[in-house]
Amino acid sequence: MNNKIDNETKDRIQQWLGAEYDRDTVAKVQNLVDSNEETELIDAFYKELAFGTGGLRGIMGVGSNRINKYTIGKATQGLANYLKSQFPAQEIKVAVGYDCRNNSQQLGHLVADVFSANGIHVYLFKELRPTPMLSFAVRHFGCQGGVMLTASHNPKEYNGYKAYWKDGGQLVAPHDKNVIDEVNAIRSVNDIKFERDQTKITLVDEDFDKRYIEENKKLSIHPEAVSAQKDLKIIFSPIHGTGIIVPKVLSAWGFTNVQVVEEQMTPDGNFPTVVYPNPEEEEAMTMAKQKGQELDADLVMATDPDADRVGLAVKNHKGEMQLLNGNQIGSLLIYYVLSSKKAKHELRDNDFIVKTIVTSNLMADIGHSFGVKHYDTLTGFKFIGEVMTKLEGKENYLVGGEESYGFLVGDLVRDKDAVNACAFIAEMAAYFKTQGKTLFDVLLELYESYGFYQEKLISLTKKGKAGADEIKQMMANLRATPPQLLGGVNVKEIRDYSTAIAHILTDGTKTTMDLPKSDVLQFITVDGDVISARPSGTEPKIKFYCSVKEDLGSRDAYEHVLAKLEDKVKRIMADIVKD
């Protein structure tokens, strides 16, 4: 092997050429070696896959840093070992689900095999279902854990493994690190139990859908508005994913005029009609948005492959279908829930909302105006779920969201839920339509009341080991020489979440932040602009977030203020994003 490959990587490659791996795997690894595929060998073997903000996620293929039956088997054996150590006197139960991705069903059954072989009872979904339904199943069946096979919105070559704890939330500290320790303690494939015990497996069929739909429908705030606007014109696309359940849910809530994008209704892990199956991307929303424009729809919604994120387009002030970003969608949902509950005298002193640190402060402003407490968390909805679990029985969660198009109304699950969000977005649109308003009208009202917030996200993709090293160096450079000016505006505060220290530059004071440590940097300007930099926990990317704000005054000034804020964002991003 080439001398550019370090010894640790070489050792992993040799291990995968051993007799404990099946012939097909060995042949594929040997072919990479014989062909001297140096970059591929390094990327596939330079490390073990580790849990990030969304669990285990990577490109499918052979290797310790790839998604395959051995890395999935090893992760499951480690999780099984940990569950048995934590619940020694109980019958352990887990729920296992999978989405539309290539190999997801096979990997889901593999996970069920390993758990059952370890004496753990498995509730295995008979067919593909959304990620939030897996979270719901963990809670419904009283499981100690769960696993969802999905790579969320990643490209088609990816798959992944989301691990859940007994509260229905994704693994957080200390369980995430403890499971990794258990996984790393497995030195041989022979330590993984692959032989299925059929007596330990219960299939979850479509009857379970009814319970999930019924429980969500109980959360409805204004069913009378749905009745009044039942013919609200809704266009929906699951983008070839598990969101195919959404039309059924909308129908159960009372909506009778839901039209789908037929070309995208068949689950398909190759995602043939989009470049990238992510409703955050304008391209992925193109077909749905075009149909909405043609049919003069009230709403256009689309979900990602595992239906935990939702994209939205609404009629703007010009009558055109305009895409809203995650900050705008989340702000509208929070305003709808809080204003509705206040009008019905249902707000309580212990109510709260949650957002992440890179999500718009407009959400917090709305909460404060209604006297509702808000919590900030690290990026990743698992941290929102963690707050919900910690405060359960003490405080009352209402709604939460993150800028990456993940939202949850009510506490039925502990993960973002696009199925739940689609139902509430439709109900919200129906409610405001009874008042003669579109959702865009309401958004402008929020900007008039709280200030015009404009946000932008720039993601730089850096693949493989070289890319990971480059991202690490970019963060190191920002820490070594932090910007003093961004977009011509002085930086007032630097928050380094890796040290949990906030540094006020104007007077030199430093304070400790009450959040777990994470590789995130934030720069706050004297104007109140918030600029964040963080490596993604689930993709080979470094992400830069920018949020700026200015008084709108009146909706007539919308175009002028928008142009002004967009220019400011452009100048700020030019100063901090160095590709």
Which residues belong to the active site? Answer: 152
Spatial CB neighbours of 530, under 8 Å, sequence gap ≥ 6: 361, 522, 523, 524, 545, 546, 547
Beta carbons of 153 and 277 less than 8 angstroms apart: yes
**The pairing of beta strand 530-535 with beta strand 521-525:** antiparallel
Spatial CB neighbours of 260, under 8 Å, sequence gap ≥ 6? 235, 236, 237, 247
Helix, strand or coil, per DSSP, at residue 457: strand
Residue 66 to residues 27, 47, 62, 72: CA-CA distances in angstroms? Answer: 16, 9, 6, 9
- Please state, in angstroms and rounded to a whole number, the distance separating the CA atoms of residues 533 and 140: 38
Rg (CA), the chain: 24
Helices 175-184, 69-86: inter-axial angle, 10-degree rounding: 120
Residue matched to tokens 């958004």: 443
**DSSP string covering 134-191, please?**
HHHHHHHTT-SEEEEE--TTS-TTEEEEEEEETTSBBP-TTHHHHHHHHHHT---GGG
Look at the block and give the residue holding tokens 């920018």: 546
Q: Which two tokens stand for residue 46?
A: 């330079």
**How many CA atoms does the CB half-sphere of 64 hold within 13 Å?**
22
CA–CA separation, 204 vs 143, rounded Å? 14
Which residues have a Cβ under 8 Å from the Cβ of 293 and sit 6 or more positions away? 320, 321
